[in-house]
């Protein structure tokens, strides 16, 4: 189970997000996840639970939601989710047929693909051409209810 600990540095580190020096005695955050190298970040950057996920779906969808203000257009979000959907579909297709249909991994991938389909379908109903800047809020609501 991933977890984040606040730690005092006993040696020097570099923040894995911004590259800032973490000097001996400074506070920093250590993300601990089984089977993965620990993630070390400065307290200024912070560390979210999804940044420690082994799931590309969780990492990318949560990152999108967390950083949605960085997307200038609804099309950019749509493209990001379409790209993720394509990646997941490719993973599912490359999975042996017996695992694709008879395993929790295959079922989970298909569920993620279906969730993305639902989001993309609902995005089509939003009028983003009217100049209304509330599209981000509508996209967030759709993503939170489907993902």
Average pLDDT, the chain: 93
Domain ranges of the chain: 3-49, 56-146
pTM over 0.75: yes
CB under 8 A, 24+ apart: contacts of 5-13: 5/29, 5/30, 5/32, 6/43, 13/40
Q: Tell me the mean pLDDT in the region 38-61.
A: 94
Q: Which residue has the tokens 């209304």?
A: 132
Place of tokens 């609501």: 141
131, pLDDT greater than 80: no
> pLDDT per residue over 51-76, tens digit each?
998 899 999 999 999 999 999 999 99
Cα-to-chain-centroid distance, residue 39: 16
Q: What confidence tens digit (pLDDT) does each residue in 16-28 have?
A: 999 999 999 999 9
What's the CA gap between 57 and 44, in Å, rounded?
Answer: 26
Q: Which of 135, 143, 142, 118 is nearest to 58 (CA)?
A: 143
User: What average pLDDT does range 13-18 have in this prediction?
Assistant: 97
- Report residue 118: phi and psi, to 5°: -60, -45
């Amino acid at each position: 189970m991933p977890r984040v600990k606040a730690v005092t540095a006993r040696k020097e580190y570099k923040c894995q997000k911004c590259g800032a020096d973490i000097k001996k005695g400074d506070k920093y955050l250590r993300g601990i996840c089984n089977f993965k190298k620990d993630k070390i970040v400065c307290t200024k950057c912070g560390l979210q639970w999804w940044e420690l996920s082994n799931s590309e779906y969780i990492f990318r969808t949560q990152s999108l939601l967390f950083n949605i203000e960085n997307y200038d257009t609804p099309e950019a979000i749509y493209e990001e989710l379409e790209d993720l959907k394509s990646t997941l579909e490719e993973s599912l297709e490359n999975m042996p047929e017996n695992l694709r249909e008879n395993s929790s991994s295959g079922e989970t991938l298909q569920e993620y693909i279906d969730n993305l389909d639902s989001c993309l379908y609902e995005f089509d109903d939003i009028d983003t051409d009217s100049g209304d800047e509330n599209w981000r809020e509508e996209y967030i609501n759709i993503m939170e209810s489907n993902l």
